[in-house]
């Protein structure tokens, strides 16, 4: 098992969480772009949820037209640099690249995308002529995650005045508080959002949770339409009384603490991660990189049935995480302090695994209580907001996109859905 020491300084933390897709130099970008075949009807573009014209932006990099390249990307996806780094490119654009058929390495589309978009961000290039006077109408956005910000960009570009209400003190939602630190740094995420905000001119009101019917009524009175980009809620509690134990975490809560202040996080020596999705893989890799001596990832079904991408499981294994399958969690063990977890196997037998830290990566709850306060809004059986093809909810003044609608997908899906919703809002509310 590769040894990671507990990082004590920022430099040690950055070393343990070194970027898995480091930035390309100009020479690397030139050489990599030269390998692209600029395919007709490119499969990489078809595999991208935001439909970026990938062949075009790669050609523009190759001909040293970085501004044009960045514009091509931003035309389809406002989280251009962020998605270049955090998208599961292995199963999207790069997974579809024709080079895979000839046993060649696929084009590193994600890194090229970040290379071009970072140019626009660092040079603060205004790619769009955004109306300074926003006189087309007013929209309130609830939630400054990828969905809320993408909707705000699209609406502002069309001259709509946008105010985002965000319960936390920073923008970007789970892109900032959830995505693994070895994929992108917090600083880069905040820089891209600041770039977008300066260019499009929308307002974000931080520490402003919208939670009551009165607040919703005020938004309805003050704005022409409302976009819901609220994402999901806290981790599903699968074991009883978890809140009474020290060192028993929900995965999203643990990762948020890690990404907010890694020095405060207490990491056990022997860690058990419960779950088989991508968040479980992240939590496993992260506790290993924070210096845990042993990390066991325990999933109730078989390895093949895990919903996590294979490359995410590989990443966890590379840092020494051990997968254990066919064990369903039953209860926490210990008196005053955590001693382990008992599981039930397929034969109904009890199996105990000793540990001094547990992370439950058992999915996130839906925000049904908050959503039930919106008149006429329909949720499906799983608690997802019901929308039509235009991402309009069953209350015609509310539109929605991202995790609250799709139940939890990727940053790129939230951006794609929110852009469509914003376009529909412009059409139905303001024309
Ligand atoms: C641990 C983890 C790792 C992930 N890793 C990746 C990855 O590597 N790559 C990838 O593409 N995707 C990843 N995802 C998924 C991705 O982060 C989400 O799909 C995406 O952020 C969803 O965007 P969203 O805007 O719909 O919701 P969110 O990102 O959840 O944003 C919602 C925002 O709304 C705010 N909010 C909620 N309720 C209210 C309210 N009532 N009032 C005001 N504000 C409110 C929240 O504070 C938040 O800022 C990961 C998710 C998790 C949990
Ligand atoms: S499929 Fe691969 S080679 Fe073809 S355009 Fe896309 S990145 Fe280039």
Q: Which domains does the chain have, with CATH numbers?
A: 22-122 (1.10.1060.10), 138-233+365-430 (3.50.50.60), 242-360 (3.50.50.60)
In percent, the amount of the chain with pLDDT more than 70 equals 99
Cα distance between residue 223 and residue 412, in whole Å: 27
Judge whether 364 and 232 are in contact, CB under 8 Å: yes
In residues, how long is the chain?
431
- The closest alpha carbon to 44, from 124, 141, 110, belongs to 110
Distance 189 CA to ligand 2 centre (A): 27
For the stretch 124-133, pLDDT in tens is 999 999 998 9
Position in ligand 2 atom list of the atom nearest CA 45? 6
Residue 79 confidence (pLDDT)? 98
User: What's the gap in Å between 85 CA and the centre of ligand 2?
Assistant: 18
> What ligand is nearest to the CA atom of residue 171?
1
- CA of 34 from ligand 1 middle (Å) equals 35
Task: Determine which residue's CA is closest to atom 1 belonging to ligand 2.
Answer: 97
pLDDT at 2: 55
pLDDT digits (tens, 9 = 90+) for 374-392: 999 999 999 999 999 999 9
Residue 48 in contact with ligand 2 by CB distance below 6 A: no
Nearest C-alpha neighbor of 295 from the set 4, 28, 69: 4
Q: Which atom of ligand 1 is nearest to the CA of 171?
A: 49
CA dihedral 417, 422, 423, 429 (to 10 degrees): 140
Q: Kindly indicate the confidence band of residue 66, based on its pLDDT and cuts at 50, 70 and 90.
A: very high
pLDDT tens by residue, 298-320: 999 999 999 999 999 999 999 99
pLDDT at 214: 97
Reply yes or no on whether the pLDDT at 141 is more than 60.
yes
Please state, rounded to an integer, the average pLDDT across all residues of the chain: 96
**3 state SS of 29:** helix
User: Residue 75 C-alpha to ligand 2 middle, in angstroms?
Assistant: 19
**350-354 sheet: strands from edge to edge:** 327-334, 338-345, 350-354
Nearest to 146 by CA among 67, 215, 50: 50
Q: Is the beta carbon of 38 within 6 A of some atom in ligand 2?
A: yes
Q: Cα–Cα distance between 223 and 136 in angstroms, integer?
A: 12
Contacts of 67 (CB under 8 A, 6+ apart): 119, 120, 125, 127
The closest residue, in CA terms, to atom 10 on ligand 1 is: 410
């Amino acid at each position: 098992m590769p040894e990671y020491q507990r990082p004590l300084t920022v430099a040690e933390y950055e070393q343990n969480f070194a970027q898995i897709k480091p930035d390309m130099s100009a020479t690397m970008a030139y050489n990599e772009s030269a390998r692209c075949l600029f395919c007709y009807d490119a499969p990489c573009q078809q595999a991208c949820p935001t439909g970026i014209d990938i062949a075009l932006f790669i050609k523009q990099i190759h001909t040293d037209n970085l501004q044009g390249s960045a514009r091509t990307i931003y035309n389809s996806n406002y989280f251009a640099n962020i998605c270049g780094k955090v998208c599961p490119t292995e199963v999207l654009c790069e997974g579809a690249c024709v080079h895979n058929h000839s046993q060649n390495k696929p084009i590193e589309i994600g890194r090229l995308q970040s290379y071009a978009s970072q140019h626009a961000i660092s040079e603060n290039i205004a790619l769009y002529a955004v109306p300074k006077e926003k006189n087309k109408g007013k929209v309130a956005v609830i939630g400054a995650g990828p969905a809320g910000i993408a909707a705000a960009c699209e609406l502002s570009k069309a001259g709509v005045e946008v105010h985002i209400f965000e319960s936390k003190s920073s923008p970007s939602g789970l892109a900032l508080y959830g995505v693994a630190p070895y994929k992108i740094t917090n600083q880069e995420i905040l820089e891209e959002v600041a770039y977008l905000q300066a260019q499009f001119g929308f307002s974000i009101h931080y520490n402003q949770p919208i939670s009551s019917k009165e607040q919703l009524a005020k938004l309805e009175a003050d704005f022409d339409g409302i976009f819901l980009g609220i994402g999901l809620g806290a981790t599903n509690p699968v074991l009883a009384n978890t809140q009474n134990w020290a060192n028993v975490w929900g995965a999203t809560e643990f990762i948020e603490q890690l990404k907010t202040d890694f020095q405060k996080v207490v990491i056990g020596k022997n860690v058990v991660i419960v779950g088989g999705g991508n968040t479980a893989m992240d939590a496993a890799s992260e506790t290993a990189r924070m210096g845990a001596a042993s990390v066991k990832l325990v999933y109730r079904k078989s390895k093949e049935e895990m919903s996590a991408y294979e490359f995410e499981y590989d990443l966890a294994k590379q840092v020494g995480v051990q997968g254990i399958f066919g064990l369903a969690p039953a209860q926490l063990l210990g008196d005053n302090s955590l001693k382990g977890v008992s599981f039930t196997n397929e034969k109904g037998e009890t199996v105990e695994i000793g540990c001094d830290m547990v992370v439950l990566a058992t999915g996130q709850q839906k925000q049904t209580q908050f959503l039930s306060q919106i008149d006429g809004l329909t949720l499906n059986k799983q608690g997802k907001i019901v929308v039509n093809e235009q991402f309009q909810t069953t209350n015609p003044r509310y539109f929605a996109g991202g995790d609250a609608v799709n139940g939890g997908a990727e940053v790129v899906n939230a951006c794609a859905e929110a852009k469509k919703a914003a376009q529909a809002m412009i059409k139905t509310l303001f024309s």
